[in-house]
């Protein structure tokens, strides 16, 4: 009897295969790395064959520990927005253009002007950004016409691995939302957008819901991976909606803070209601009849890593935490603007920069460390305020990522948010969410919320201190004034650099 499911995560850095049972216990996990290419400034590419080889190797590894006959289903997740172009024979035409590739700014401007910013935002649930998929197609049309003429299929990264596993051209609506070719409210491809881009409908994969079975492992893929031919493959989800599932954020009123290299806040909704000013992404959710709101800050824990590497490279993070703990809340009036790589939400500005504001002779490295932690957490608070503006008012939230490894950072984040923050029983992230979706598709659980209630469990909860939270509320008001006050300076500096 099939007792296990597999989640495959095709991330930017590696392909990972994760095996879990019906209770969410991790049975096996293995990953193999990807190579990243940056052939020109602003470009970011990968060879799709690398994804497949790494995924196949990871599958072979975990299937040394679990019999293939006991795998009930497979779920897929991975980096969103990447463009994979295939010819009529299913062969890759060029390296995939990734989510962090910035070459298509001009094409974003063209399409936004053609459709109208308000209408486009209502359709795709987001301001059109160079990271999205569709502008990259237009870039190929304008810059690589010989490639464009040969395109027969467009796939996202994880869906390319699905194609290699099964021969099927399919995508779930949660990940496909990031192509910027869907009518998100209707959960289908938009004829209006396809016409505007000049993209034929037959290039696009068939859409499905995240827990639904949409493909089966082929004989050819079975021979390569060790899987059993005919093993069902569910739709899965992009890395962000899959991470939501993996954190149990699948019911109204729940929210999450993921403070990794970047920072992401998530919440689920039972209606399509984009943030009015375009300061959040609203995409199809990983369950039928749901949507999710997502706020992104581009530099979160990556900002603390920058401070460590630049100023204290010989110190361990335990010492970094000790120094932060020696400083009172508010860092004696030193405030950090965490926009080291530009910003996305709530300030969609590639020219935004980092800044320390408020230096005096009293301040030293410990104050800079704590102010950096506080500034990052204030940036995450910005995401929460956008969610609250849409009526999402969680009484608590799950927190994952770098902040959970630091008691002082976790505590100050809790005080800044003003609500309890809790950790969960797994750090497997998106792969865990993909495996949960596979478990639902295989019939191990009746629904995604029911599966999450059984598989995702609270571990520790940190409560806010009312007095400290009140002090941070005052400082947060000052933090919110930083970007408007410095915006013209940021842009002047970018102009000085020739950007």
Show which residues are catalytic.
239
Identify whether the C-beta of residue 92 lies closer than 8 Å to the C-beta of residue 86. yes
Angle at 422 between CA 452 and CA 178, to 5 degrees: 55
Identify whether the C-beta of residue 421 lies closer than 8 Å to the C-beta of residue 414. yes
Q: What is the CA radius of gyration of the chain?
A: 22
Identify whether the C-beta of residue 332 lies closer than 8 Å to the C-beta of residue 311. no
Identify whether the C-beta of residue 20 lies closer than 8 Å to the C-beta of residue 435. yes
- State how far Cα 306 lies from the chain centre: 21
Torsion of CA 364, 366, 370, 376, to 10 degrees: 70
- Angstrom distance (rounded) from CA 414 to CA 463: 7
Q: Which two tokens stand for residue 444?
A: 């191990």
Q: For residue 216, what is the enclosing H or E element? A: strand 213-216
Distance (Å) of CA 38 to CA 96, 97, 357, 405: 12, 10, 34, 31
Secondary structure tally for the chain: helices H, strands E: 17, 23
Distance (Å) of CA 183 to CA 121, 126, 187, 188, 230: 10, 11, 6, 6, 32
- Angstrom distance (rounded) from CA 246 to CA 455: 9
Q: Which two tokens stand for residue 157?
A: 């990264």
Neighbour-count burial of 496, counting CB atoms closer than 10 A to its CB (0-12 exposed, 13-18 middle, 19+ buried): exposed
- Angstrom distance (rounded) from CA 7 to CA 73: 9
Pairing type for strands 263-269 and 213-216 reads unpaired
Q: Which two tokens stand for residue 264?
A: 């992401």
Three-class SS state of 343: strand
- Angstrom distance (rounded) from CA 456 to CA 433: 10
């Amino acid at each position: 009897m099939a007792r296990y499911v597999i989640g495959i995560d095709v991330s930017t850095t590696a392909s990972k295969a994760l095996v879990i049972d019906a209770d969410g216990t991790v049975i096996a996990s293995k990953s193999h790395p990807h190579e990243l290419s940056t052939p020109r400034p602003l470009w970011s590419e990968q060879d799709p064959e690398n994804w497949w080889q790494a995924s196949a190797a990871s599958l072979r590894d975990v299937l040394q520990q679990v019999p293939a006959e006991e795998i009930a289903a497979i779920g897929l997740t991975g980096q969103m927005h990447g463009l994979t172009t295939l010819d009529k024979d299913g062969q890759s035409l060029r390296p995939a253009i990734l989510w962090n590739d910035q070459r298509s700014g001009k094409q974003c401007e063209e399409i936004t002007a053609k459709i109208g910013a308000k209408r486009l935002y209502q359709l795709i649930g987001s301001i059109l950004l160079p990271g999205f998929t569709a502008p990259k197609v237009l870039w190929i049309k304008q810059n690589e016409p010989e490639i464009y003429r040969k395109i027969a299929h467009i796939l996202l990264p994880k869906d390319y691995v699905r194609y290699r596993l099964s021969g099927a051209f399919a995508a779930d609506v949660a990940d496909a939302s990031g192509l910027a070719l869907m009518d998100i409210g209707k959960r289908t491809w938009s004829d209006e957008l396809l016409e505007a881009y000049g993209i034929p409908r037959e290039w696009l994969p068939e859409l499905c819901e995240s827990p639904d079975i949409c493909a089966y492992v082929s004989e050819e893929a079975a021979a390569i991976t060790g899987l059993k031919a005919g093993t069902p493959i569910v739709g899965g989800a992009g890395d962000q909606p899959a991470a939501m599932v993996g954190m149990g954020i699948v019911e109204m009123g729940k929210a999450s803070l993921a403070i990794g290299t970047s920072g992401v806040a998530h919440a689920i909704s039972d209606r399509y209601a984009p943030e009015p000013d375009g300061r959040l992404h609203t995409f199809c959710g990983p369950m039928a009849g749901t949507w999710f709101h997502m706020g992104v800050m581009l530099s979160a824990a990556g900002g603390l890593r920058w401070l460590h590497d630049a100023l204290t490279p010989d110190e361990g993070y335990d010492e970094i935490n000790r120094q932060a703990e020696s400083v009172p809340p508010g860092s004696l009036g030193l405030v950090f603007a965490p926009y080291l790589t530009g910003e996305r939400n709530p300030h969609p500005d590639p020219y935004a920069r980092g800044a320390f504001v408020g230096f005096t002779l009293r301040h030293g490295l410990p104050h800079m460390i704590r102010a950096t932690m506080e500034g990052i957490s204030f940036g995450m608070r910005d995401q929460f305020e956008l969610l609250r503006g849409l009526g999402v008012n969680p009484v608590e939230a799950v927190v994952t990522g770098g902040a959970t490894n630091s008691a002082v950072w976790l505590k100050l984040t809790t005080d800044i948010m003003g609500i309890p923050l809790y950790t969960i029983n797994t750090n497997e992230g998106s792969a865990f969410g993909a495996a949960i979706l596979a478990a639902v598709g295989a019939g191990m659980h009746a629904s995604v919320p029911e599966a999450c209630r059984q598989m995702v469990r609270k571990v520790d909860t940190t409560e806010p201190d009312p007095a400290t939270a009140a002090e941070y509320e005052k400082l947060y008001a000052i933090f919110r004034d930083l970007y408007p006050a410095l915006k013209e300076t940021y842009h002047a500096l970018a102009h000085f650099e020739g950007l």
